[in-house]
Amino acid sequence: MGMTITEKILAKASGRESVRAGEIITAKVDLAMIQDALGPIVYKEFRELGVPVWDRDKVFPVIDHSCLPGSVENAVTISETVKFARDYDIPNFYNMQGVSHQIIVETGSVLPGQVAVGTDSHTCTYGAMGAFSTGIGSTEMCAVLATGKLWFKVPETIQVTVAGKLQKYVMSKDIILKLLSMIGANGATYQTLEFSGETIEDMSLESRFTICNMAIEAGAKNGIIKPDKKTYAYMQKQGTEIVDWNGLYSDADAVYVRKIKMDVSDLAPQVAVPFSPANGVDVTEVEGTKLDQIIIGACTNGRIEDIKTAAEIIQGHKIPHAFKCFIVPASNKVYTEAAKKGYLAALSEAGCIIVNPGCGGCGIQMPMAVGEKCLGTHNRNFRGRMGSPESTVFLASPATAAASALKGKITDPRKL
């Protein structure tokens, strides 16, 4: 009996020839990312253990939620993170240089076939590189820092095969929002979402990151896409050591708990209405809904491809008076590239507000008042996620967000 790509990775990491869904294994960890929201808890618990970090080069403390600090509490969080990095001489410390998940992939820090964990639920993003990556809690991270290992239950795998050519201004974000609406917020609890098919193969790595990023919104343990020539090219661009990934694919006789087929040829832009990412509907169902602000960014859609799309739609126009449109590049590198290519200038001239790289509104910035409505490209729209519990958040792609910014209301980008 064959194995899925996730099973192959976990088998190798646990020193076994094979594993099966449901088995409990102990796996070696290749990368441990700690973001600032949980960082202070991790650091306090780890110091109490009184042991050294198992491998300093594999630990990545990142300050991304608290960019820029808006309170004394945030400042303390930053201070404690800096102190940990200094005290333990951690070389890969990123201080307000962007979203952790973007930094990890753009620096070539995660490779196909590796096991990566992070104190953030959207650590599943790295699955687009062909890695097993998942979010963990503070106590688990302490164990990883001390031993370099962690136990896992091998997840069952759902195969998602995507076919069809997307219409103009329909993006990978629309695919994942549609899938979430199909299977629900608990539709893949502690299971792997394995994405494949011609549509996935045609995607850039940036588009694949978006899809794997939101696997957790269905409760998935991880999202994953087998590495291919595009993965190889992305790694070359980052100057990463190329690894041998022969065998990093799911066997023909691998066991799947469920198989889902999607044809996205006629897929309309999707909008997730409050208060769940799984509440996706066609944009036409909510078109015309008045908004107070737009956010284009976050770990889901703050990459150069996303900002380019927004700039192409918005440039030469003006954002409505008294309307807010925030642009949040995912990292300093993305910010610099977007500036060099003129995207930020075009967006700024149109009236957009360019924000420092980081988590932005998905973190602690840009809170809303009672009754306000936001459409954002991030990954969660829970009640109270962005300020007042009486505010509302819609989720959509960068194309839909940019089109909506021009009108001040939810707009179908295909009609521009």
Structure tokens at 198: 């011609």
| Cβ 363 vs Cβ 66: under 8 Å | yes
Beta bridge partners of 2: none
Phi-psi region of 355 (alpha: psi -120 to 50; beta: other; left: phi over 0): beta
| Cβ 335 vs Cβ 302: under 8 Å | no
Residues in the chain: 416
Taking the C-alpha atoms of 25, 26, 28 and 30 in order, what is their torsion angle to the nearest 10 degrees?
70
Q: Is 299 annotated as a binding residue?
A: yes
Number of other CB atoms surrounding residue 398 within 10 Å: 30
| Cβ 222 vs Cβ 127: under 8 Å | yes
Nearest to 333 by CA among 164, 145, 106, 171: 106
Handedness of CA 276, 278, 281, 282 (dihedral sign): positive
Nearest to 168 by CA among 64, 268, 286, 273: 268
What is the b/e burial string over 190-224, where b = at least 16 CB atoms within 10 angstroms of the residue's CB?
ebbbbbbbebbeebbbbbbbbbbbbbbbbbbbbbb
Nearest to 102 by CA among 123, 117, 131: 123
Is residue 274 packed enough to be buried (19+ CB in 10 Å), middle (13-18) or exposed (0-12)? middle
Structure tokens at 405: 């910014």
Helix axis angle, 304-314 relative to 332-340, nearest 10°?
Answer: 40
Q: Is 142 annotated as a binding residue?
A: no
The DSSP code sequence of 18-54 is: ---TT-EEEEE-SEEEEETTTHHHHHHHHHHHT---S
- 88-93: Cβ within 8 A, 24+ apart: 88/52, 88/53, 88/56, 88/59, 89/56, 90/53, 90/56, 90/59, 90/61, 91/56, 91/57, 92/57, 92/59, 92/60, 92/61, 93/60, 93/61, 93/62
Q: Is 325 annotated as a binding residue?
A: no
Annotated binding site: 299, 359, 362
Binding residues for [4Fe-4S] cluster: 299, 359, 362
